[in-house]
Structure 1
Amino acid sequence: MLVSIITPSYNQARYLEETMRSVLEQDYPHIEYIVVDGGSTDGSREIIEKYADRLAWWVSEKDRGQTDAINKGFARARGEVLAWLNSDDTYQPGAIREAVEFLRQNPQVGLVYGDANYIDEHGRVIGRFPAAQTDYRRLRQGYVHIPQQSAFFRADLWRKVGPLDDSFYFAMDYDLWVRLAREAPIVYLPRVWANFRLHSDAKTIAADDRCWPEMLRVHYRDGGSPFSMIVLKYWIRKLAAPYINWRRRRMFRL
């Protein structure tokens, strides 16, 4: 199975090389790696050029943001399995091989995902993403529990339900998980496959207040009720947001 990995990036030179090496140094031999840079001015282009001979395709040009960059990469992808890894996150050794082995042995599964560590700007592990088994019904209720960094899905399903909706700034991955889970089973494996970096410029820190309103857009678009659990969770989250964000900021400052 050929696996296509897309890395969208913009002005993340501080972390980009570590991200790229975590893909290029995987022990799975059939990887097509694509890097889509949004015209960075911080030295990112030079880092990409350093590894250009090991990339299937790369570009550094102005785009419409992260979602547009991911879609641009997947439009070029030829793999049977797809994933994207943001330019401040990393894979654990063996992650891609283990994901492919599971998908090969379980042809009915459309998406498989593992665990992800939270790491700080220096790469130190500071926590663990609350990954857990979910499904279409539970996703619709807001029980996401899928770390995007450790998710791998089949290209034939992507062609059926993609591309990512670029009207979303934050919840484009949640929207995709819902659409994929409607078509095929999704499975959680309790293995650490990725590292999710928290730092002051990360979207998770800087724009968390946009996530749940976007998730509600998916809910109502698909006919959801205003009395559903996801709506209740939105209001609870909204009330708890100052404390949650304080904890996250404290985590990456340790």
Structure 2
Amino acid sequence: MAERNLMTDLPLVSIVTPSFNQARFLEATIQSVLSQDYPRLEYLIVDGGSTDGSVEIIQKYADRLAWWISEPDRGQTDAINKGFAHAHGEILAWLNSDDTYEPGAVSEAVAYLQAHPEVGMVYGDANYIDEYGRVIGRFPAAQTDYRRLRRGYVHIPQQAAFFRAALWRKVGPLDPTFYFAMDYDLWVRLAREAPLHYVPRVWANFRLHSDAKTIMADDRCWPEMLRVHFRDGGSWFSPIVAKYLVRKVVAPYLRWRRRRLFRRYNQGRGE
């Protein structure tokens, strides 16, 4: 009886995975969610009509999913919104179909949010991993807040972020006109309502590979971040605009570094 009461006292956590033609990574993502030690978890998968065997992978785990669907959609942002529309949890997160959780991530995030009811979102650290699952670096996570977010200091690995459903209902859903910066837009809206807190624990793995959106991100992400900045009354004379202009200048170097990183790790495998 005591164990049952403990279970009902724990908040339900809803995790959404948006996916489209990511069969080679999808199963690892699913397993990393379903192997979490947190007992009150509902998992939802929104597939965009994949044709690469993803549906067959999802069907293997269908009896352990709260809900799933495979149908054409308007992209990742639309898929995430669709998943959260079917979620019932008090705490929400999304995990893309090429990323993974570390063991214990959900339990630790929930424990922090339970101990700090004033915090609207908690996030941890994330490793960078390559397409083979090898750790190749660490996301530069750090404490941020509304003021620093507005200045372009994000430092939040989306894969390791968990936020309260009550706030989502207040500021959501994701803006479907954003392709890259929908998470930044959400962080700004959440931070306007409640504190965000960084916990220096590795909770997720952020996969970098040749097909990943992140490899192309700078060219489209920063202009989308500026849309948020100007929408909320930001000035041209601000740190986020300066950072954008600097990154435009150094973008060729950043792309060269990413290509070099992938070549180095592929050569390390003899490929």
TM-score of the pair, normalised by structure 1:
0.99
Alignment partner of 1:20 is 2:68 = no
Separation in structure 2 between the aligned mates of residue 32 and residue 57 of structure 1, nearest angstrom = 8
Deviations 1:92-119 (A, max 9, x none): 0000000000000000000000000000
Quick check: 1:119–1:252 contact (8 Å CA) kept in 2? no
Alignment partner of 1:98 is 2:108 = yes
Separation in structure 2 between the aligned mates of residue 221 and residue 150 of structure 1, nearest angstrom = 27
- The list of structure 1 runs, each at least 4 consecutive aligned residues, that deviate by more than 6 angstroms after superposition, is none
Deviations 1:105-142 (A, max 9, x none): 00000000000000000000000000000000000000
Report the number of matched residues.
Answer: 254
Per-residue deviation, 1:245? 1.8
Alignment partner of 1:136 is 2:146 = yes
1:110 maps to which of 104, 111, 120: 120
Per-residue deviation, 1:208? 2.8
Could you say which structure has the larger radius of gyration?
2
1:145 maps to which of 140, 155, 158: 155
Separation in structure 1 between the aligned mates of residue 53 and residue 237 of structure 2, nearest angstrom = 49
SS at the partner of 1:20?
helix
Separation in structure 1 between the aligned mates of residue 254 and residue 57 of structure 2, nearest angstrom = 34
Per-residue deviation, 1:42? 0.1
Q: Which residue of 2 aligns with 1:36?
A: 46
Separation in structure 1 between the aligned mates of residue 191 and residue 34 of structure 2, nearest angstrom = 29
1:83 maps to which of 84, 89, 93: 93
| Counterpart residue identity of residue 83, structure 2 | G
1:187 maps to which of 174, 197, 200: 197
2:241 maps to which of 225, 228, 231: 231
Deviations 1:218-251 (A, max 9, x none): 0000000000000000001111111112222222
Q: Which residue of 2 aligns with 1:215?
A: 225
Deviates more, 1:38-47 or 1:207-216: 207-216
Separation in structure 2 between the aligned mates of residue 207 and residue 62 of structure 1, nearest angstrom = 23
Quick check: 1:11–1:44 contact (8 Å CA) kept in 2? yes
| Counterpart residue identity of residue 85, structure 1 | L
Alignment RMSD? 0.6
Q: Which residue of 1 aligns with 2:269?
A: none
Separation in structure 2 between the aligned mates of residue 61 and residue 239 of structure 1, nearest angstrom = 40
Alignment partner of 1:203 is 2:204 = no
TM-score of the pair, normalised by structure 2:
0.93
Separation in structure 1 between the aligned mates of residue 245 and residue 150 of structure 2, nearest angstrom = 16
| Counterpart residue identity of residue 128, structure 2 | Y
| Counterpart residue identity of residue 233, structure 2 | G
